[in-house]
DNA sequence: GCCACCGGTGGC
DNA sequence: GCCACCGGTGGC
């Protein structure tokens, strides 16, 4: 029945300031290894109901549905939220904001990045009341995510960093349309000590939602299990320290927004018609929300990116050059691939 | 020259 | 359709 979700928020960087680092903690994602067995509690299906949120005004559709389980199920579990830093921060209830030192500012380091949306904060959904609770650090989030099925998250769990919070308190955030939401995978192993797992969210319209990278202690960036394996072979010292392949997972969260990721086009259909560009284009007036979830376990980790900006406005001039003309041929909205571009450019916030 | 990022494909 | 992998290159 209850399902919980973890989410982290991401913020997009519009400028450079961003967040990159916010990259979603990799941990959010589950490791390939074996997932733990889900307990009934997490998996279950029902969803959550979300109360109204205090801080945000969005309408939100919350996740509710208690009754139906299906859809929601997914959402409810672990979700990662990505959001705009500024937004996110404000959204944090005061109580939270004050508490841990880490809350007031992002625990993650921010580096200038080029532009893509990044995770700015992490949240997890209470298995009992389904309210989302902000997690003060990426490390804590990874910890929770790693054992989310065996140890469902409860509001009481948050007392570790936020004294007296309970299910009676308003949610720290509400899943609404103001941000991009992504559902994270449960039970992803924490990276080995000295290693870092980075989640890079791609821009809207890309053919993939995100990429996971592991940064080895030497600073080497590894992008697949094959690369990790080769790296470990060359550096047996890590193996001696106990590093194993089961500690790495390249699973990425899934965006809730259906059209965030471009669908793969059937090769055969080069015609423009076949493509749906536009219709699904996000409403520029609102931020994008995405959520990723693990269907198997039903856990959701959430993340949202509050872009206030429309990611796509066609216009945009690409910040980067595009390399493939093909896609753009359908211009119009389609071109979102570059959305990142627009994101960064957008001044908002 | 490097590398973060994106696209595209093979395999399921 | 999804995911893992990795080639290629824009942007620095």
pLDDT top residue among A234 and A13? A234
pLDDT top residue among A337 and A147? A147
Q: Is the CB of A264 under 7 A from strand C?
A: yes
Q: Is the CB of A200 under 7 A from strand C?
A: no
Q: Among the listed ranges A13-27, A44-58, A78-92, A185-199, which one has the minimum average pLDDT value? A: A44-58
- The pLDDT tens digits of the residues spanning A93-135 come to 333 333 333 332 333 333 333 457 777 678 889 999 999 999 9
Contacts of A30 by beta carbon, 8 Å cutoff, 6+ apart: A145, A185, A186, A187, A188, A189, A249, A251, A294
Q: Within window 45-84 on A, which residues have Cβ closer than 7 Å to strand C?
A: none
- The pLDDT tens digits of the residues spanning A64-101 come to 333 333 333 333 344 455 444 333 333 333 333 333 33
Rounded mean pLDDT of chain A? 57
Residue A212 has a pLDDT of 94
Q: Which nucleotides of B are covered by protein (CB under 7 A)?
A: 3-9
Tell me which protein residue sits closest to nucleotide B8, measuring alpha carbon to C1': A207
Provide the CA A168 to C1' C3 distance, Å, integer: 40
b/e for A68-89, b at 16 or more Cβ within 10 A?
A: ebeebbbbbbbbbbbbbbebbb
Q: What is the pTM of this model?
A: 0.59
- The pLDDT tens digits of the residues spanning A22-39 come to 333 322 222 222 222 222
Q: Which nucleotides of C are covered by protein (CB under 7 A)?
A: 1-6, 9-12
Q: Among the listed ranges A107-116, A169-178, A216-225, A275-284, which one has the minimum average pLDDT value? A: A275-284
Average pLDDT, integer, range A297-326: 33
pLDDT over 90 (residue A233) = yes
Rounded to 5 degrees, what are φ and ψ at A142? -65, -35
Q: Is the CB of A318 under 7 A from strand C?
A: yes
Provide the CA A330 to C1' B8 distance, Å, integer: 18
Burial class of residue A109, CB neighbours in 10 A (0-12, 13-18, 19+): exposed
pLDDT over 90 (residue A213) = yes
Provide the CA A186 to C1' B3 distance, Å, integer: 30
Q: Is the CB of A251 under 7 A from strand C?
A: yes
Provide the CA A227 to C1' B9 distance, Å, integer: 19
């Amino acid at each position: 029945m209850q399902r919980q979700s973890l989410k982290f928020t991401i913020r997009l960087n519009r400028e450079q300031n961003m967040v990159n680092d916010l990259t979603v903690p990799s941990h959010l994602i589950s490791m390939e290894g074996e997932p733990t067995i889900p307990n009934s509690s997490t998996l279950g299906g029902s969803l959550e109901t979300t109360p109204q949120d205090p801080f945000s005004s969005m309408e939100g559709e919350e996740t509710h549905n208690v009754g139906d389980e299906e859809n929601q199920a997914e959402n409810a579990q672990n979700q990662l939220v990505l959001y705009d830093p500024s937004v996110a921060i404000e959204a944090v209830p005061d109580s939270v904001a004050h508490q841990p030192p880490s809350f007031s500012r992002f625990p993650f380091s921010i580096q200038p990045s080029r532009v893509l949306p990044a995770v700015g904060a992490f949240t997890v959904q209470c298995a009992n009341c389904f309210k989302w609770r902000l997690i003060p650090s990426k490390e804590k989030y990874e910890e929770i995510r790693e054992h989310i099925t065996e140890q469902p998250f409860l509001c009481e769990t948050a007392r570790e960093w936020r004294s007296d919070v309970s299910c009676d308190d308003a949610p720290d955030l509400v899943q609404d349309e103001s941000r991009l939401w992504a559902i994270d995978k449960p039970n992803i192993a924490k990276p080995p000590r000295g290693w870092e797992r980075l989640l890079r969210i791609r821009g809207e319209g890309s053919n993939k939602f995100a990429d996971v990278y592991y940064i080895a202690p030497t600073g080497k960036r590894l992008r697949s299990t094959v690369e990790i394996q080769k790296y470990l072979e060359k550096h047996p010292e890590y193996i001696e320290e106990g590093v194993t392949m089961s500690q790495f997972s390249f699973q990425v969260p899934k965006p809730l927004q259906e059209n965030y990721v471009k669908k793969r086009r059937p090769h055969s259909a080069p015609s423009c018609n076949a493509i749906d560009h536009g219709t699904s284009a996000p409403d520029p007036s609102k931020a994008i929300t995405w959520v990723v979830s693990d269907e198997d376990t039903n856990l959701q980790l959430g993340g949202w990116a509050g872009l206030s900006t429309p990611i796509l406005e066609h216009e945009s001039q690409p910040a980067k050059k595009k390399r493939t003309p093909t896609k753009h041929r359908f211009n119009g909205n389609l071109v979102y691939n570059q959305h990142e571009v627009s994101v960064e450019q957008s001044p908002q916030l």
